[in-house]
Amino acid sequence: MTEDLLATSKNGAATDVVLEVSDLTVGFPSDDGLVQAVRGVSYGLRRSEVLGIVGESGSGKSVTSLAVMGLLPGNAKVSGSVRFRGKELLGAPEAELNKVRGRNVAMIFQDPMTSLNPVYSVGFQVAEAVRAHHAVSKAAALDRAAELLELVRIPNPRQRLDNYPHEMSGGMRQRVVIAIAMANNPEVIIADEPTTALDVTVQAQIMESLQLAQQETGAAMVLITHDLGVIAGQADRVMVMYAGKLVEVGTAEDVFYTPRMPYTFGLLGSLPRLDRPSERLTPIQGAPPSVVNMPPGCPFTPRCPLSVAVCEEVEPALAPTTGPEHLAACHRSDALIGATPGDVFETDVVDTEALAHFVTETEGQA
């Protein structure tokens, strides 16, 4: 990718943003009305940064990323803009998207078996990924495949090339998927719940492989998870999603230490404590709302201990809080200054001190 293709901002200055999502909205028609899966999501992914997207199941994380990759089902109603280095991807012809997918933007899904073909050896599949965008011989592609398997820490990579996916463990398979994602030195890697389908004991290893992949390729990475703990120590910035919207955006520090949206507090309160790892609380009561025929107001209101009258009437917009880059969509942001999850959600199990401890420990492992 040459420098002249660098994204330029509206005033013409070169920016560091490789992927720019603006006012992305995705709906699915249903018998009950439009399912408003994504409602006006905007973000810029900067070169080489790790951006975490967190939120409970159904908050719109996957649909956002599928829209970026042009992989939504045909019935989806999409509007807004997705630019890769300034080039519009929304509505781009399939042939254009195929050039970008895999080469510039790679995606890693939750279940490695959805990405791997059971009837081909993993060596063949990694080599094909290399050959899809580069004219190299089969032998050279296999050499590169072995190199990639070694990079993601697969032992005896040469021998492993001949394995079929079913001959590998789930963790090994996900490493093969990561190797495929790295094959063409992408500029963006989107990993959607990459460890969720795997045994807890291999989750940390997969996160480590992802980090290696990110460092090796210099790619920017979008790391999607329902579990804030997974991205602690890895994400540079964090976006919290709820009911199809971004409700908090900031540096990892902003979001972990001085959250300004009660929902984020709730997610933090669900983190396990290192000193009492068996305790895993879910202090946010209730479930996320349906995103069909949504009532006015903030969608978190029914679950929010801090809600007041205005919360039921007006949906708050993302607005700056502790700094211009730390945004929250909450009428009660100020009520969170100096608060701990325990203050808000009536649990004394998690306090800021324990949280700080947790984040530091996780960083230590990285």
Q: Output 19 or 224, the one with its CB closest to Mg ion.
A: 224
Q: Is residue 223 within a helix (H) or strand (E), and if so which, with residue range?
A: strand 220-225
End-to-end CA distance of the chain: 30
109 with 115: CB under 8 angstroms? yes
Which of 18, 54, 59, 359 forms a contact with ligand ADP (CB under 6 A)? 59
Subset of residues 314 to 353 that bind Mg ion, contact rule: CB under 5 A: none
Phi-psi region of 78 (alpha: psi -120 to 50; beta: other; left: phi over 0): beta
117 with 33: CB under 8 angstroms? no
Asked if 61 is part of the footprint of ligand ADP (rule: CB under 6 A), the reply reads yes
Which of 9, 14, 33, 57 forms a contact with ligand ADP (CB under 6 A)? 57
Which of 7, 18, 19, 37 forms a contact with ligand ADP (CB under 6 A)? 37
Number of H helices and E strands in the chain, helices first, is: 14, 12
| Measured torsion, CA atoms of residues 350, 355, 287, 243, in degrees rounded to the nearest 10 | 150
**Strand pairing of 220-225 and 188-192?**
parallel
Subset of residues 116 to 135 that bind ligand ADP, contact rule: CB under 6 A: none
Asked if 73 is part of the footprint of ligand ADP (rule: CB under 6 A), the reply reads yes
Q: Report what 291 binds from Mg ion, ligand ADP, none; CB cut-off 5-8 Å by kind.
A: ligand ADP
Which of 21, 50, 63, 220 forms a contact with ligand ADP (CB under 6 A)? 63
Which of 44, 55, 171, 297 forms a contact with ligand ADP (CB under 6 A)? 55
Which residue's Cβ has the minimum distance to Mg ion? 62
Nearest to 178 by CA among 164, 192, 166: 192
Nearest to 187 by CA among 53, 5, 63: 5
Subset of residues 262 to 301 that bind ligand ADP, contact rule: CB under 6 A: 291
Residue 103 β-bridge partners: none
187 with 18: CB under 8 angstroms? yes
Strand order in the sheet with 33-46: 33-46, 17-30, 77-84, 87-88
Q: Output 176 or 198, the one with its CB closest to ligand ADP.
A: 198
Stretch that binds Mg ion, among 60-68, 276-284, 311-319, 320-328 (CB under 5 A): 60-68
Q: Output 35 or 176, the one with its CB closest to ligand ADP.
A: 35
Asked if 203 is part of the footprint of Mg ion (rule: CB under 5 A), the reply reads no
Residue 50 β-bridge partners: 221
Asked if 62 is part of the footprint of ligand ADP (rule: CB under 6 A), the reply reads yes
Which of 36, 59, 62, 209 forms a contact with Mg ion (CB under 5 A)? 62
Residues that bind Mg ion (CB under 5 A): 62
Interface residues with ligand ADP (CB under 6 A) are 28, 35, 37, 55, 57-63, 73, 291
